[in-house]
Amino acid sequence: MPLKLLAIDLGAESGRVTLGILDGKKVSLEEVYRFPNEPVFLIKSLHWDILRLFYEIKKGIAISRNKFGKDISSLGIDTWGVDFCLLDEKDTILCNPYHYRDHITDGIMEEAFKFVSKEDIFKRTGVQFMQINTLFQLLAIKRKNPSLLNIAKTILMMPDLFNFLLTGEKLTEFTMATTTQIYNPSERIWDKNLLEAFGLPIDIFQKVVSPGTIVGPLFSRVAQEVGLDEITVIAPATHDTASAVSVVPAKETDYAYISSGTWSVLGTEISHPIVNELSLNLNFSNGGGIKDFLLLKNIMGLWLIQECRRIWEKRGEYFDYSQLTEIAQKTKPLGSLIDPDDIRFLNPIDMPSEVQKYCRETGQDVPQTKGEIIVCILQSIALKYRWVLEELEKIIGRNLPTVYIVGGGTRNTLLNQFTADATNRKVIAGPVEATTVGNIMLQAMALREISSSDEARELVRNSFRLQEYEPSNRGYWDDLYERFKRLIKISKPKEVIVRE
């Protein structure tokens, strides 16, 4: 009998409930339910609406049961990293989790380095420095609302929170723990010394478990609500990037991957953490993978396009992403560029205007049309990929001749081609639903239906269409890259204004 597995993937824009069916040779997917994941401003702070998300998760499970029957073997949840929820001694949720784009963490890293040096934090955690990391969020809460930490008895990362609400079991899955900048990947423990140095509570952190750990059955009340009393909850690689990378359809060992979506994550697989002066100076992360580690760097990805689209819709101009890509394909590039990771693009009031301001302030032609703005953004992202890829090769000491792109961003064929052109490497794109597929494969491995990640990748190659892109126009892109390198060295972060 085919094996039915349910993957729940929560992204920064939406959540999806997808049924995966394994027949031994292939895996097929059927999207069951999709729902928006919209943050909420609450008293000048940006939060995730976790009660709504939990309601939608249960609704998606119930729809799956009604459509496909009761013989669904398991479910697994994955989400973005870094964000968390605090519970008190009676397991009452103390507040809706802060959204990582909230400005509570503005300036917090500089304060943190007064107590513990940047070098010491990296030595202990091996994680890329971003103000959104869990460590800095906790320090910001301590600064702004210390009473929360005084009464908190449990911290649960986002997928761990929903696992707890479904089953009553508290744990933290390894790949998610490595996003916090509190977990020591070399010793595989929460870093007690780091927490003590910052005056943060230690006993609120949960036991860390491996990807593919069986969490348990549903609460009886939840089982009654969704109509499934036999289903098993499994913690896959709960960090969406780790799930996506676990099914990169590569046969070779020397390759780079890009998990492309709201964020882009570029990296490669490594056998052990690389924590040294070079990886610190180049600001890379040692993230958890399903077997080993992922040396990676976060890059501001299609968030910039998403926000442009949102602003244009606010003005009454409606486009889907394919229409925006088509507009860009018909536009002659101005050659204007931005640094996608400039802090001003983290959460501006008006993304198109912010792109124009950046170009104006750096002495470039200012893009005026929608097509010119989109081309500017996509070319800049592709050039940032090249910059990060060259840094990655310096750290590992070898070339990575092929780039695999997985995730929702693979639908953006123009960015895929720009990536091949900018990096002068062959690009292989797919599968689109890599995070969901990785989630499903980890469940199958936990249930011993698949023996290894190699078998999982073979199933992926047999099941999904992959698109190849060859590099072209090298001279043009090399010239553009030289200008890009000069640009990101001279540009300075600007103040970001909270969007009300």
For the segment 427-454, what is each residue's pLDDT rounded down to a tens digit? 999 999 999 999 999 999 999 999 999 9
Query: pTM for the whole thing?
Result: 0.91
Of 240, 265, 286, which residue constitutes the final position of a domain?
240
Do 268 and 147 share a structural domain?
Answer: no
Which pLDDT score is estimated for 291? 85
Percent of the chain predicted with pLDDT > 70: 98
Same domain membership, residue 364 and residue 409: yes
Q: How many folded domains does the chain comprise?
A: 2
Q: How far is CA 330 from CA 327, 374, 378, in A?
A: 5, 11, 14
- Residue 340 forms part of a structural domain: yes
Mean pLDDT of 454-466: 94
What are the tens digits of pLDDT across the range 271-297?
A: 999 999 999 999 999 999 998 899 999
Percent share of the chain, pLDDT over 90: 93
- Beta-carbon contacts of residue 157 (< 8 Å; ≥ 6 apart): 79, 81, 83, 84, 134, 172, 173, 176, 177, 179, 180, 238
d(CA 441, CA 243): 9
Cα 177 from Cα 192, distance rounded (Å): 14
- The structure tokens listed for 393 are 């090769």
**Residue 19 lies in domain:** 3-240
Q: Determine the pLDDT at residue 499.
A: 33
pLDDT at 378: 98
The stretch 157-162 carries a mean pLDDT of: 98
Are residues 152 and 73 part of one domain?
A: yes
Q: Which residues, including other chains, have CB under 8 Å from residue 374's CB and lie 6 or more apart?
A: 305, 308, 324, 325, 327, 328, 331
Rounded CA-CA distance 256/495 in Å is 33
**Domain shared by 125 and 72, yes or no:** yes
Computed on alpha carbons and rounded to an integer, the radius of gyration of the chain in Å comes to: 22
Structure tokens at 292: 């080993």
User: Taking 60 as the threshold, does the pLDDT of residue 418 lie above it?
Assistant: yes
Q: What is the pLDDT of residues 109-141, one digit of tens each?
A: 999 999 999 999 999 999 999 999 999 999 999
pLDDT of residue 25: 86
Residue 21 lies in a domain: yes
What value does the mean pLDDT take over residues 220-224?
A: 96
In a domain, 459, yes or no: no
Q: Where residue 493 sits, what CATH number does that domain have?
A: 3.30.420.40
Residue 230 reports pLDDT greater than 60: yes
Residue 196, pLDDT above cutoff 80: yes
Q: What is the pLDDT of residue 491?
A: 58
- Mean of the per-residue pLDDT values of the chain: 95
pLDDT at 496: 35
For residue 426, what pLDDT is reported? 97
Same domain, 254 and 327: yes
Instruction: Give yes or no for a contact between 388 and 299, defined as CB atoms under 8 angstroms apart.
Output: yes
Task: Answer yes or no: are the C-beta atoms of 167 and 218 closer than 8 Å.
Answer: yes
- Which residues are catalytically annotated? 240
Do 220 and 363 belong to one domain? Answer: no
**Confidence at 306, pLDDT banded by 50, 70, 90:** very high
Boundary-marking domain end, from 240, 268, 300: 240
Confidence of residue 1 (pLDDT cuts 50, 70, 90): confident
Q: What is the pLDDT of residue 253?
A: 87
